[in-house]
Amino acid sequence: MTRAVRADSVPSDVAFTAAVKAIQRARGSRASYARMETSGGWSTEIDDELAGFIAEQTSFFLATANAAGQPYIQHRGGPPGFLRVLGPQQLGFADFAGNRQYISLGNLSENPKVHLFLIDYETRQRVKIWGEARVVTDDRALLSRLVVEGYRAKVEQAIVIDVRAWDANCPQHIPQRFEAADVALVLERRDQRIAELEGKVAELERTIATLRRSPPRG
């Protein structure tokens, strides 16, 4: 099925509807966004920088909505890179078994539109991705591309997202946080260094004590 696109549309129109633009005009920000749109605005293809960012993430938030427009946001997590780039405008991930509510799957059966929100607290970066998704259960080749080796989780199906637009936000108001495993590694290295220094101090103290006990020569 071919998606109809207005000749004068720009990628950010996926979010900047007429209602949104009206509020932007009322609040004084429409002019700056209009200038952005004249140069093409948001990206529609996954570049190397975005692909690298995605490959490092261990989680993201997936937003869907049912036919009535009721939204739902679900957290998706896995090893780094479990969300994978399948093409210049396509992402995919193995959908692991969860609490079996299947709200996202039900929403996608009625409404393919999705939004992905990725945030890296350590670097204080966030990326927003708009697209359309579909659930794939009968493509073994695709599933094999998305399975994460060594990760003990049951894969129920794959979800493939066709990217329509994406935008990277500024770091304003993002708190800086670190992964527990990374913090544990830093603390372990610190403790090892402290132990090494304590050993050197103890050795130096023994040497000083020995010198003080030794009678002066000559």
pLDDT in tens, 136-184: 998 989 988 898 888 888 888 999 999 999 999 777 776 777 788 888 8
CB 144 within 8 A of CB 92: no
Residue pLDDT, tens place only, 44-96: 999 999 999 999 999 999 999 999 999 999 999 999 999 999 999 999 999 98
Q: How many other C-beta atoms are found inside a 10 Å radius of the C-beta of residue 130?
A: 21
The whole-number pLDDT of residue 150 equals: 85
How many angstroms separate the CA atoms of 43 and 193, rounded?
Answer: 46
How many angstroms separate the CA atoms of 184 and 180, rounded?
Answer: 6
The confidence band for 6, taking pLDDT boundaries of 50, 70 and 90, is low
How many angstroms separate the CA atoms of 57 and 148, rounded?
Answer: 14
Average pLDDT over residues 9-28: 95
Is the per-residue pLDDT at 4 higher than 80?
A: no
**Lowest mean per-residue pLDDT among 55-59, 173-177, 188-192, 208-212:** 173-177
CB 112 within 8 A of CB 132: yes
Query: What is the third-level CATH fold of 43-169?
Result: Pnp Oxidase; Chain A (2.30.110)
How many angstroms separate the CA atoms of 126 and 111, rounded?
Answer: 25
The whole-number pLDDT of residue 182 equals: 83
Is the per-residue pLDDT at 195 higher than 80?
A: yes
In this structure, what token pair is assigned to residue 210? 């020995």
For residue 41, give the 3-state DSSP assignment. coil
Is the per-residue pLDDT at 3 higher than 50?
A: no
Q: In terms of pLDDT, which residue wins out, 4 or 146?
A: 146
Is the per-residue pLDDT at 186 higher than 50?
A: yes
The confidence band for 98, taking pLDDT boundaries of 50, 70 and 90, is confident
The confidence band for 218, taking pLDDT boundaries of 50, 70 and 90, is low
Residue pLDDT, tens place only, 109-130: 999 999 999 998 888 889 999 9
The whole-number pLDDT of residue 214 equals: 77
The whole-number pLDDT of residue 170 equals: 72
| DSSP code string of 79-135 | STT-EEEEETTEEEEEEE--SS--HHHHHHHH--EEEEEEEETTTTEEEEEEEEEEE
